[in-house]
Chain A
Amino acid sequence: MKIKVLQRDLSEHLPQKSGDPTPTHRNLNPLMHPFARARERVRALNAAKMEKMFARPFVASLEGHADQVEVLARKPDSLNVFTSASADGEIIVHDLPQRTQLLRIPNAHKNAVTGLTFADANRVLSCGIDKFVRIWDISTLDQVQTSIELDEEDGARASTSKAARPEPLATFAGKAAFNTIDHHYEDALFATGSNCVQIWDEEKSAAISNITFASATETVKSIRFNASEPSVLASVGTDRSFTLYDIRTGKAERRIIMQASFSMQANALSWSPTFPTSILLASEDHNLYTYDIRSLASPSQIYKGHVAAVMSCDWSPTGTEFVSGGWDRTVQIWKEGMGHSPDVYHSKRMQRVLSTIYTADARFVLSGSDDGNVRLWKARASDRLGVMDTREKAAMEYRDSLKARWKADKEVGKVLRSHHVPKPVYKAAKLKNTMLDARRVKEERRRAHTRAGASKPKAARRSAVIVEQA
Chain B
Amino acid sequence: MDALVAKADALRPVSQKRPRSSSKRRKSTSDPSSSKNVDISEDKTAQSVLPHTRLPASLRAKGKEVDRTGRAYNHIGDKRLRAHLASQSLQNVRAKGLVDDLQDLLVPDEQENAGLRAEHELERTWRVTQDEIVKTVGGQAASGRREWKLDGGTYRSRYTRNGRHLAIVGKNGHVATFDWQSGTLHSEIQLRETCRDITFLQDHSMYAVAQSKHVYIYDQNGVELHRLASHVEPTRLEFLPYHWLLVSVGMPGYLKYQDTSTGQMLVEHRTKLGACHTMAQNPHNAVIHLGHQNGTVTLWTPNMPQPAVRLLAHMGPVSSLAVDPSHAGGRYMATSGADGRVKIWDCRNWKGCIREWSARGGPAELDFSARGHLGVASGGTVNVYGPQALFTPHTPPVQPPLYLTHPITTRPIASARFAPFTDSLLLGHAAGLSSILVPGSGEPQYDSREADPFEGRRARREREVRGLLDKVPADMITLDPEFVGAVAAEGTGVAEKEEEMGVAKSQRTPFARLPRAERLRAQGKADETEVQQSESSDDEEEDEGGDVDVDGKKEVLKKRKHKMRGRETALKKYLKKKRKNVVDPRTEALRAKLEAQRKARVLKEKKAAGAEEGKLSVLDRFRR
Binding site for B on A (CB under 8 A): 1-10, 13-14, 22, 24-35, 37-43, 46, 226, 228-229, 232, 244, 246, 253-254, 275-278, 292-295, 337, 406, 408-409, 437, 440-441, 443-445
Contacts and interface: CB of A to CB of B under 8 A. Distances in A.
Given A7-B141, A35-B242, A42 B471 contact: yes
Contacts of B385: none
Contacts of A28: 98-99, 102
From B114, B455, B470, residue with most partner A Cβ within 10 Å: B470
B456 interface: yes
For chain B, which range describes its interface: under 10, 10 to 19, 20 to 34, or 35 or more residues? Answer: 35 or more
B222 interface: no
Nearest to A337: B80
A30 B469 CA distance: 21
A229 B102 contact: no
Contact of B622 (A29, A42, A244, A408): A408
Contact of B7 (A40, A228, A254): A228
Contact of A406 (B113, B123, B445, B485): B485
A42 B261 CA distance: 16
From A27, A28, A43, A232, residue with most partner B Cβ within 10 Å: A27
Nearest to B7: A276
B283 interface: yes
25 contacts: A5-B437, A7-B140, A8-B422, A9-B140, A13-B453, A14-B454, A22-B454, A27-B445, A27-B446, A31-B326, A31-B328, A32-B447, A37-B624, A38-B476, A38-B481, A39-B472, A42-B470, A229-B4, A232-B4, A275-B12, A277-B7, A293-B4, A294-B5, A437-B513, A444-B511
Nearest to B326: A31
A108 B66 CA distance: 66
A37 B484 contact: yes
A248 to B, nearest CB: 9
B14 A1 contact: no
Contacts of A277: 4-5, 7-8
A286 to B, nearest CB: 19
Nearest to A226: B4
Interface of B: 1, 3-5, 7-9, 11-12, 14, 80, 98-99, 102, 107, 113-119, 123, 125, 128, 132-133, 136-137, 139-141, 144, 181, 242, 283-286, 325-326, 328-329, 421-423, 437, 439-440, 442-450, 452-456, 459, 469-473, 476, 481-482, 484-485, 510-513, 622, 624
Contacts of A14: 454
B137 A1 contact: no
A253 B136 contact: no
B442 to A, nearest CB: 5
A38 B442 contact: no
B439 A276 contact: no
B402 to A, nearest CB: 15
A31 B481 contact: no
Q: Which 10 A-B pairs have the closest CB atoms?
A: A13-B454, A24-B448, A277-B8, A229-B4, A440-B512, A27-B445, A5-B141, A27-B447, A5-B137, A294-B14
Nearest to A294: B14
A444 B449 contact: no
Contacts of A4: 113-115, 137, 439-440
Contacts of A2: 113, 116-117, 119
B112 to A, nearest CB: 10
B119 A1 contact: yes
Contacts of A34: 242, 283-285, 329, 481
Contacts of B448: 24-26
B123 A33 contact: no
B14 A8 contact: no
Contact of B421 (A6, A26, A42, A437): A6
Contacts of B449: 24, 26
Nearest to A40: B485
B99 A5 contact: no
Contacts of A293: 4-5
Nearest to B456: A22
Contacts of A276: 4, 7-8, 11
Contacts of A13: 453-454
Given A4-B439, A232-B4, A294-B8, A25 B447 contact: yes
B469 A7 contact: no
Contacts of A444: 510-512
Given A444-B511, A445-B510, A38 B472 contact: yes
Contact of A43 (B3, B445, B469, B484): B469
A35 B455 CA distance: 22
A232 B2 CA distance: 10
Given A32-B443, A444-B511, A246 B459 contact: no
B485 A41 contact: yes
B116 A3 contact: yes
Given A41-B484, A409-B485, A6 B447 contact: no
Given A34-B329, A39-B470, A6 B442 contact: yes
A244 B116 contact: no
Nearest to A445: B510
A401 to B, nearest CB: 11
Nearest to B78: A337
A244 B476 CA distance: 58
A5 B424 CA distance: 9
B117 A32 contact: no
Contacts of B284: 31, 34-35
From A4, A244, A294, A408, residue with most partner B Cβ within 10 Å: A4
Nearest to A2: B117
B446 A25 contact: yes
B1 A253 contact: yes
A292 B8 contact: yes
Contact of A46 (B136, B440, B469, B511): B469
Nearest to A245: B1
B623 to A, nearest CB: 11
Contacts of B283: 34
A42 B444 contact: no
B549 to A, nearest CB: 19
Given A1-B116, A228-B4, A292-B8, A24 B452 contact: yes
A466 B462 CA distance: 63
Nearest to B283: A34
Given A1-B125, A244-B1, A38 B484 contact: yes
A445 B511 CA distance: 10
Contact of A42 (B472, B481, B511): B472
B193 to A, nearest CB: 35
Given A10-B454, A275-B8, A292-B14, A441 B140 contact: no
Nearest to B116: A3
Nearest to A295: B14
Given A3-B137, A32-B450, 9 more contacts: A1-B117, A3-B132, A25-B448, A32-B443, A35-B286, A37-B481, A37-B482, A253-B1, A276-B7
Contacts of B328: 31
Nearest to B619: A408
Given A8-B140, A42-B472, A295-B14, A246 B1 contact: yes
Contacts of B439: 3-5
Contacts of A337: 80
B14 A7 contact: no
Contacts of B9: 294
Contact of B133 (A5, A10, A31): A5
B452 A7 contact: no
From B140, B141, B512, residue with most partner A Cβ within 10 Å: B512
Nearest to A441: B510
A240 to B, nearest CB: 22
A2 B481 CA distance: 39
Contacts of A30: 329
A232 B450 CA distance: 62
A8 B450 contact: no
A1 B116 CA distance: 7
Contacts of B473: 42
Nearest to B621: A405
